[in-house]
């Protein structure tokens, strides 16, 4: 029986890239989805060993129950990748309470609770791995997408705490922090092409680079508590706004020139 990995938000975007990479590497891939049932099933059908599960991540109790059910029937469930997140705009000058509650629940509280439940179950003699998908914004924050960024900082804080609290030395808790990789929010194609190169290396970071980093972390060679930044150096910059708006400013400046 191949080792199993659960990827939340695994039906689309970066989650799907990670799911495909694990599948091609011989893992049994458990693809979690919220509303993307057809995309999840199509991806599962395309992999040699995969299944789909669904759960509303805004319901923390239901998410923990999902972990319990999977742990009971998958003896070699080795990796949990908390990839799913919500990304909605609000600002540092005016936090939106509803957006904030949703971001903190889906992006931070539920991933923390799922990680706790996963680490509490026996199994996976080679050790279990939790990979918390954060964001390069944890080192390079700006005032845009305020609640999203707050939630990713909160998720980042769980990595060290869960690592120190783990019961088995062979278990690992990691962070994986991507930069701007896929079109997001309301970006036009021209804006996307610019925003994805607003990093130290001025290059586009590909989804497969995130997927390969997740596979690397799944092996557990790094000390627990580490975070990998896969962003072409974006986190080393000091950007005063989200790259969506920095790119938009460049496009408008070019149009006005």
**pLDDT tens string for the chain (257 positions)?**
899 999 999 999 999 999 999 999 999 999 999 999 999 999 999 999 999 999 999 999 999 999 999 999 998 999 999 999 999 999 999 899 999 999 999 999 999 999 999 999 876 677 899 999 999 999 999 999 999 999 999 999 999 999 999 989 899 999 999 999 998 878 888 999 999 999 999 999 999 999 999 999 999 999 999 999 999 999 999 999 999 999 999 998 875 33
Please tell me what DSSP assigns to residue 109.
Answer: I
Range(s) of the domain holding residue 85: 4-256
Please tell me the predicted confidence (pLDDT) of residue 166: 92
Q: Are 218 and 25 in contact (CB under 8 A)?
A: no
What is the rounded distance in angstroms from the CA atom of residue 61 to the CA atom of residue 238? 38
Q: Are 34 and 15 in contact (CB under 8 A)?
A: no
Please tell me the predicted confidence (pLDDT) of residue 253: 85
Residue 113 belongs to what H/E stretch? helix 110-120
- For position 49, which CATH number holds? 3.40.50.720
How many domains in the chain?
Answer: 1
Structure tokens, 13: 């975007």
């Amino acid at each position: 029986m191949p080792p199993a990995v659960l990827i939340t938000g695994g039906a689309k975007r970066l989650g799907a890239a990670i799911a495909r990479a694990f599948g091609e590497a011989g893992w049994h891939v458990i693809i979690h989805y919220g509303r993307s049932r057809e995309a999840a099933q199509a991806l599962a059908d395309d992999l040699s060993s995969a299944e789909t599960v669904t759960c509303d991540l805004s319901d923390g109790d239901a998410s923990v129950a999902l972990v319990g059910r999977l742990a009971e029937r998958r003896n070699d469930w080795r990796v949990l990748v908390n990839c799913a997140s919500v990304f909605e705009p609000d600002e540092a000058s005016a936090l939106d309470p509803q957006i904030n509650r949703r971001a903190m629940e889906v992006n931070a509280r539920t991933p923390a609770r799922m990680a706790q439940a996963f680490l509490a179950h026996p199994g996976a003699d080679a050790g279990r791995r939790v990979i918390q998908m954060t964001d390069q914004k944890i080192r390079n924050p700006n005032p845009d997408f305020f609640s999203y960024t707050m939630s990713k900082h909160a998720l980042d804080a769980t990595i060290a705490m869960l690592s120190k609290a783990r019961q088995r030395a062979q278990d690992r808790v990691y962070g994986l922090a991507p930069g701007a990789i896929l079109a997001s929010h309301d970006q036009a194609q021209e804006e996307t092409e610019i925003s994805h190169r607003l990093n130290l290396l001025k290059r586009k970071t590909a989804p497969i680079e995130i997927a390969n980093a997740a596979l690397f972390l799944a092996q557990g060679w790094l000390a627990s508590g580490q975070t990998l930044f896969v962003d072409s150096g974006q986190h080393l910059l000091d950007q005063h706004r989200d790259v969506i708006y920095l790119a938009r400013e460049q496009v408008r400046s070019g149009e006005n020139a």
